[in-house]
Amino acid sequence: MTDFWDELRATTQARIGLGRAGDGMPTSRVLEFRLAHAVARDAVHDPLDVDALVGELVRSGVCAGIEDDAGTGAVRAPVIEGEPGRARLGAPVVVTSRAANRAEYLRRPDRGRLPRDLAGLPATGADVGFVLADGLSARALQTHGPALLKALVEALPATFTLAPPVIATQARVGLGDHIGAALGVKTVLVLIGERPGLSVADSLGVYLTHHPEPGRPDSDRNCVSNIHSPGGLPYEAAARVIGGLIAGARQLGRSGVALKDTSREAAIAASTPDVALP
């Protein structure tokens, strides 16, 4: 019996074949679950290490380094065209929402959707902008954000202009509408930590909004979720689907329910968000 389920466990992280103690679960399974829940709860409350994330983005070669603008701390980065040998993206800019801390973020999602101050963002008019948001799992962004961003940049046509990435803390998906509008981008991608589950506490989702502007309903977005490794959607596969969705949105002139993923990437797909976004 153990062998039978072991083979199937290679196909899913779901808790299958747990055995029984009467109608309940065996003690070991109950305690495993309790531990996983404790770890996930801790993940919700871990803050994003912004300096470490910036360092990783620069080290990976996807972003230019941050330059201090005349010692004011404000950061300006030009739109950088794709050129061999250069970082494809400008230096990251850091913003935060109006949620002052984690406790407020959890109970007031409305404040997580509003920016505190976007004065540091350049108006780029670029084709695509990227928001790196902590969402409900900063660990997800910390772990998978740089590699996914790199894969996304590589999956987009070299002719596209790309805005510098914006790191957003205490951020909800809707904050991307404000950031996208301030950057003046045609399409904004919000890479955001998803709500931690028991098996996976570091899963990233990407929300695509064409012509971002404050007030966009969620039905105007498309999302690709469960991006993590191992066991989730790989970075390159996610990037290909998103690349296809961007092309579709540009052709259609909009994103959301009307835009379907027809890229047929194995069993991978995009969806319109359902009840709750991070």
The answer to whether the annotation marks 32 as part of a ligand binding site is: no
Min separation Cβ 270 and another protein, Å? 5
Nearer to another protein, 94 or 152 (CB): 152
Min separation Cβ 158 and another protein, Å? 27
Backbone angles phi and psi of 149, in degrees to 5: -60, -45
Instruction: Write out the binding residues for another protein, residues 174-233 only, by CB under 8 A.
Output: 194-201, 203, 217-219, 224-226, 231-233
Distances (CA, A) of 191 to 27, 52, 98, 110, 221: 38, 17, 19, 19, 13
Nearer to another protein, 50 or 198 (CB): 198
Instruction: Label residue 70 left, alpha or beta by phi (over 0 means left) and psi (-120 to 50 means alpha).
Output: left
The residues near 175 (Cβ < 8 Å, ≥ 6 apart) are 97, 112, 113, 114, 115, 131, 133, 168, 190
The residues near 192 (Cβ < 8 Å, ≥ 6 apart) are 131, 133, 134, 135, 141, 171, 172, 173, 204, 205, 206, 207, 278
Nearer to another protein, 3 or 83 (CB): 3
Distances (CA, A) of 194 to 171, 206, 254: 11, 9, 24
Q: How many residues of this chain interact with another protein, rule: CB under 8 A?
A: 69
Interaction pattern, residues 21-60, with another protein; x per rule: CB under 8 A:
--xxx---x---xx-xx--xx-xx----------------
Work out whether the CA dihedral 210, 213, 214, 217 comes out positive or negative. negative
The answer to whether the annotation marks 194 as part of a ligand binding site is: yes
The answer to whether the annotation marks 173 as part of a ligand binding site is: yes
Nearer to another protein, 11 or 251 (CB): 11
Residue 256's closest CA among 207, 219, 216, 229?
219
The answer to whether 176 and 131 have CB atoms below 8 angstroms apart is yes
Q: How is residue 72 written in tokens?
A: 């004011």
Min separation Cβ 252 and another protein, Å? 14
Instruction: Write out the binding residues for another protein, residues 49-108 only, by CB under 8 A.
Output: 106-108
Min separation Cβ 194 and another protein, Å? 6
Min separation Cβ 78 and another protein, Å? 35
Query: Distance (Å, rounded) from C-alpha 277 to C-alpha 227?
Result: 15
Nearer to another protein, 86 or 107 (CB): 107
Residue numbers in the known binding site for adenosylcob(III)alamin are 173, 194, 223
| Residues that bind another protein in the complex, under the rule CB under 8 A | 1, 3-5, 8-9, 11-18, 20, 23-25, 29, 33-34, 36-37, 40-41, 43-44, 106-110, 136, 194-201, 203, 217-219, 224-226, 231-233, 241, 256-257, 260-264, 267-272, 274-277
Residue ranges for the binding site?
173, 194, 223
